[in-house]
Amino acid sequence: MKISWKEYQKDIADDHYYYARSCIRQNFFPGSEAAFLHILGNDLGRDILDDARHTSCTGIGYHSDIVPLDTIMTVVARQFALMTEAGYENFVSSCITSFGIYSEALEMWHEFPEQEEKAHEYLYKATGREFKKPKNLAHTSDIIFHHRHQIAAQAKHKLINVQTGEPLKVVDHIGCHYAKIFPKVGVGGSEFPYVLSGMVEAWGGECIDYPERRHCCGFGFRNYLVQANRGCPVANSKKKLESMAPYKPDFIVANCPGCTMFLDRWQYAISEMEGTLYGQDGHGIPVLTYEEMAGLVLGYDPWDLGMQLHQVAVEPLLDKMGIEYDPGAKYLGKNGKFIGKPEDSLIGCYTK
Amino acid sequence: MGKYFDMLMEDVRMKEGLTACMNCGICTGVCPSAEFYNYDPRQIVDTVQTQDDRAIEELLKSDTIWYCGECMSCRPRCPRGNTPAYIIQSLRSLSQRLGFFVYSEKGRQQLALKRTIGQNILNTGYCLMPKLIDPELHPEQGPVWKWVYEHDRDVFERFGDNYRQEGPGAVRKIDDQSMAELHNILKVTGCDDFFDNLEKCSEQKAIEMGFNGADEEYFRYIYTTDNGSHQ
């Protein structure tokens, strides 16, 4: 069983994608969504539709238990209807929560066909639209994973420490809703997820296997969204960070927009609360999206990728990879406009 | 069968989530919330499978059902094919339908979630927008987010985003027709009524607790209060 899941590959469409954006990713990692579309369209020559008409899947509301099941299933049905009308069959979600929601809809409609009938009826009544289910459902990281060798062939930088020649040590954080709900929808299933480590290996890095590798980041929807509950998520992130720190990771790459943000922000909160820094040489551990990791490998400017929006300074990683960057351009706005810069903090400051 | 169990079984997630629990406790062992809270999802499944009305009503009125973070880590681990988190989703839906959520501190927080995430969906078509993540309510976001928040348009347009404009792109304004369709979906599928019931039950509870109703003061109270009994 161990071997079969380790070798498990899901079907991932090769071209012609309908793209659904993420509430969290577009807020906190706007450069990543832009980079994904640029990499697909320009570097890989793939066709991908960025449709203005789709809405949130409402997944954060659903998992906070304020959006009923019938509602979210009908919102999903509308997204599929928009894909159908645009002439696409391959649906790509930029968010792990959404990906879990779309997977849940498809599985539920398969197991309980009367629920699918209900979704058709509700959607038609509310919008006059009809939908077909996608032939292929993928998360955006699946698409990057699928093209990892083509990206490696175009690489300007490798995941290698240019000073030592050693592979960079990487923590991969998968995000619970990628494959814990439905193992078959994730590369490697829920026990041996390979979607990020496959990229890391293809681009020259080395993944760290540490005790809490599969532990949740702690987000827990209502456990973060309500201020009184935030002890729970920070405690769980702290558990992960303490578990990985002895292995001296050069960076974390995360699959889920929420996990990426929380593993970054909780490092800030912990550093402010107790002065702990989990990285090396008095720094935090940079937390990257897989689009940022792919973008750096392809030679994109880190500030075009939006890495200045991280709270944990990313410059130690850029230096290790031998990436040139302009420190003075880090916090400039559109067309080089000066818009001030964030206040200094223990974990956000970087001096060479 | 008990009436509450019958009501729960109307939810398809119960059919998928509950087979027969043998009380092994692996769900509790792997649960991130159980590491933090005085919380044992195994007991929830065990209580529900008794089908006992009194025990289930007590559960529906308790803090216990509100600790789960719905990460679903329990789902692939259960050797009997149960999904405690699905059962909890069903319990939470029923607790809110019956107005039982206002009996517990954690349950009362549902109004705060409706007024933040729910209102964001109604107003913008997204669960989150930059201007809705106020650094004052989110000090853990740190100074970089505060800078983004204060310079939102300049920052987002830096990445070519279609910031609050119609048309494709990130953080865009969703067009009127799409918003109307979303609102119709919320109405047709019962989400509007669900929201109204959350408000109505919270209003009554707020007055009972000595507030002038479910006003801003009550919102702040439920959003920030932790009575210290949960760990």
Q: Is the pLDDT of residue A351 over 80?
A: no
Contacts of A51 (CB under 8 A, 6+ apart): A18, A19, A20, A82, A83, A86, B168
Find tokens 């309500």 and name the residue: A226
The answer, for B111 touching chain A at a CB cutoff of 8 Å, is: no
The phi-psi region of residue A275 (left if phi > 0; otherwise alpha if psi is between -120 and 50; otherwise beta) is left
- In chain B, residues 183-222 whose CB comes closer than 8 Å to chain A: 184-191, 194-195, 198, 222
Provide φ and ψ at A207, rounded to 5°.
-85, 140
Q: Do B66 and A222 touch (CB under 8 A)?
A: yes
At residue A8, the pLDDT reads 87
Provide φ and ψ at B34, rounded to 5°.
-70, -20
Measured between CA atoms, the residue of chain B closest to residue A37 is B169
Q: Is the pLDDT of residue A2 over 80?
A: no
Contact A270, A234 (CB under 8 A): yes
Of B76, B144, B222, the CB nearest to A348: B144
Contacts of B146 in chain A (CB under 8 A): 342-343
Contacts of A298 (CB under 8 A, 6+ apart): A39, A43, A151, A154, A155, A156
- Picking from B105, B122, B159 by the largest number of A CB atoms within 10 A of its own CB, the best residue to mutate is B159
Of B130, B169, B225, the CB nearest to A50: B169
Measured between CA atoms, the residue of chain B closest to residue A64 is B113
Q: Rounded CA gap, A288 and A304, in Å?
A: 14
Q: How many CB atoms lie within 10 A of CB A9?
A: 11
Helix axes A113-127, A69-85, angle to 10 degrees: 70
Find tokens 């490092």 and name the residue: A267
Contact B38, B227 (CB under 8 A): no
At residue B97, the pLDDT reads 98
Q: Do B89 and A65 touch (CB under 8 A)?
A: yes
Q: How far is B118 from chain A (nearest CA, A)?
A: 6
At residue B160, the pLDDT reads 83
Q: Do B185 and A78 touch (CB under 8 A)?
A: yes
Q: Give me the residues paired with residue A254 across strands.
A: A173, A289
Contacts of B125 in chain A (CB under 8 A): 55-56
The pLDDT tens digits of the residues spanning A259-308 come to 999 999 999 999 999 999 999 999 999 999 999 999 999 999 999 999 99
At residue B1, the pLDDT reads 62
Q: Rounded CA gap, B171 and A267, in Å?
A: 26
- Split at pLDDT 50, 70, 90, the class of A348 is confident
Q: Rounded CA gap, A18 and A29, in Å?
A: 20
The pLDDT tens digits of the residues spanning A89-148 come to 999 999 999 999 999 999 999 999 999 999 999 999 999 999 999 999 999 999 999 999
B31-59 CB burial, b ≥16 within 10 A, e <16: bbbbbbbebbbbbbbebbbebeeeebbeb
At residue B105, the pLDDT reads 98
Q: Do B157 and A333 touch (CB under 8 A)?
A: yes
Q: How far is B50 from chain A (nearest CA, A)?
A: 24
At residue A114, the pLDDT reads 97
Contacts of B174 in chain A (CB under 8 A): 52-53, 55
Local structure of residue B118 (DSSP, 8 states): I
Mean pLDDT of chain A: 96
Q: Do B116 and A225 touch (CB under 8 A)?
A: yes
At residue A3, the pLDDT reads 63
The pLDDT tens digits of the residues spanning A181-237 come to 999 999 999 889 999 999 999 999 999 999 999 999 999 999 999 999 999 999 999
Contacts of B127 in chain A (CB under 8 A): 23-24, 56, 58-61
- Split at pLDDT 50, 70, 90, the class of A350 is confident
Contacts A–B by Cβ distance under 8 A: 260
Q: Rounded CA gap, B220 and B29, in Å?
A: 34
Contact B102, B60 (CB under 8 A): no
User: Domains, chain B, ranges and CATH?
Assistant: 3-106 (1.10.1060.10), 108-224 (no CATH)
The pLDDT tens digits of the residues spanning A4-14 come to 778 888 999 99
Contacts of A242 in chain B (CB under 8 A): none
The answer, for B127 touching chain A at a CB cutoff of 8 Å, is: yes
Q: Is the pLDDT of residue A1 over 70?
A: no
Provide φ and ψ at A256, rounded to 5°.
-105, 135
At residue A9, the pLDDT reads 87
Exposure on the CB side of residue A132, measured as CA atoms within 13 A: 11
Low-confidence ranges of chain B (pLDDT < 70): 1
Q: Is the pLDDT of residue A49 over 90?
A: yes
ipTM over 0.85: yes
User: Domains, chain A, ranges and CATH?
Assistant: 11-140 (1.20.1050.140), 156-336 (3.40.50.11810)
Q: Do B15 and A112 touch (CB under 8 A)?
A: yes
